[in-house]
Amino acid sequence: MAASFLHTTVLLEEGVRAVLGDAPAPDGTFVDATFGRGGHSRLLLERLAPGARLVAFDKDPEAVAQAGTIADPRFSIRHQGFTHLGELPPGSVAGVLMDLGVSSPQIDNPARGFSFRLDGPLDMRMDPTRGQSVADWLATAEPQQIAEVIRDYGEERFAVQIAKAIAARRQERGAISTTAELAELVAGTVKTREPGQNPATRTFQALRIFINAELEELQQALSASLSVLAPGGRLAVISFHSLEDRIVKQFIAEHSKEVYDRRAPFAAPKPMRLRALERIKPSAEEVAANPRARSAILRVAERTEVRA
C-alpha cells in the first residue's frame, strides 16, 4: 500500500531552472511555497550555493513531517499555507516557486478523502487538523450555496442538479459522509460527461478548492510575492487547472505593464513590477510517464528593478 503513495514531482527540472535562472550556484534566500513531498526542494538544495537558504511552506502535517527528513542547515519548513509568504522581509527573496498541484499521497490515501476512486471519509482538507471538512459543510450548506461552489470552482454545468440531489439525499437518508457515496450520487445525476472523465471529477475538484480556499490563497500569495521578491528575483508557478492558470496569467499580465492614471494624463506612469519570461508545458515523455502532469502549465516572471 505504501508504494501507491509515492509522488512524482511534475516539471521538476523545469521548475527549479525557472526559479534559479542561469547562475551555476545561486546564493540568497529562495522559497518553495508548496513543499508537498519535497521534490522541488531537494533539487533546489542540490543547486544552491553553500551559503544560500531555502524556506518552505505547507499546510499538510504529513508534508511537514516529510520535510523533517531533510538534514540540511540551509533548509527550514513552516507549517503554514503560502499566504504567509508576506511575513518574510520585503525584498529579501531571490526566487519563489509555487507548485499548486495536489500531491499523489494526498490523492491516493483514502483517509484524506480527495479521490472519488477510493472510498474514505469525505474530508479533503489540506490540513486535517484545522477547519471544516467537506462532509461537515455539505451537511448544513444550502442547496444554492452548494450549486454555486460546484459551478464556480468546478465549471460543472449540472451543478444545480447535483446540489438538489445532495439536499434530497440529506433529507431522506442523512448527510453524505464518504467519497464513494458522493461519487455515486454525482454519477447518478450527471448523465453526460466528456470521454474518459469520471462524472464526479468536476464536483470533487470544486469542493476541494472551496474547502481549502485555494483560489483566494493563491491570489494572496501572488500579491505577497511582489513584496518579498528582490529586484531580479524569479516567480515560477505551476498550475493544474484553468481556474488557477487564469489567475496566474492575469496576475503576471497585470503587473507586466505600465499603469497610467486617467485622472492625471500627463503624469509619469506607474512602472511595471514584473517581466513575463516564459510559459512551459510538460514534455510528451513526462506526460507518458506521469499522466497527472498532462494539464500542468509553468509560468515564469521576473521582479523588475523598480520597487513598489
d(CA 160, CA 200): 14
Q: Tell whether 32 is in a known binding site.
A: no
Question: Does residue 306 have a pLDDT over 80?
Answer: no
Question: Does residue 3 have a pLDDT over 50?
Answer: no
Handedness of CA 159, 161, 165, 167 (dihedral sign): positive
Q: Tell whether 101 is in a known binding site.
A: no
Cell of 22: 542561469
Question: Does residue 72 have a pLDDT over 90?
Answer: yes
pLDDT tens for each residue of 86-102: 999 999 999 999 999 88
- Considering only the C-alpha atoms of the chain, give the largest distance between any 2 of them, rounded to a whole number of Å: 67
pLDDT band at 8 (very low <50, low <70, confident <90, very high): confident
pLDDT of residue 260: 56
Q: Could you tell me the domains of the chain? A: 12-104+214-303 (3.40.50.150), 118-211 (1.10.150.170)
Mean pLDDT of the chain: 91
d(CA 238, CA 114): 20
pLDDT tens for each residue of 229-272: 999 999 999 999 999 999 999 999 999 986 555 666 655 566 78
Q: Tell whether 106 is in a known binding site.
A: yes
d(CA 176, CA 304): 50
Query: What percent of the chain is modeled with pLDDT above 90?
Result: 81
pLDDT of residue 4: 43
d(CA 10, CA 147): 32
The H or E element that residue 297 is part of is strand 297-303
Kindly state the average pLDDT of the residues 163-191.
Answer: 95
Q: Tell whether 99 is in a known binding site.
A: yes
pLDDT tens for each residue of 190-205: 977 777 789 999 999 9
Q: Tell whether 95 is in a known binding site.
A: no
Q: Tell whether 35 is in a known binding site.
A: no
pLDDT of residue 308: 46
Task: Supply the pTM of this predicted model.
Answer: 0.90
DSSP code for 178? B
Closest CA to 64 of 98, 41, 96: 41
Q: Tell whether 40 is in a known binding site.
A: yes
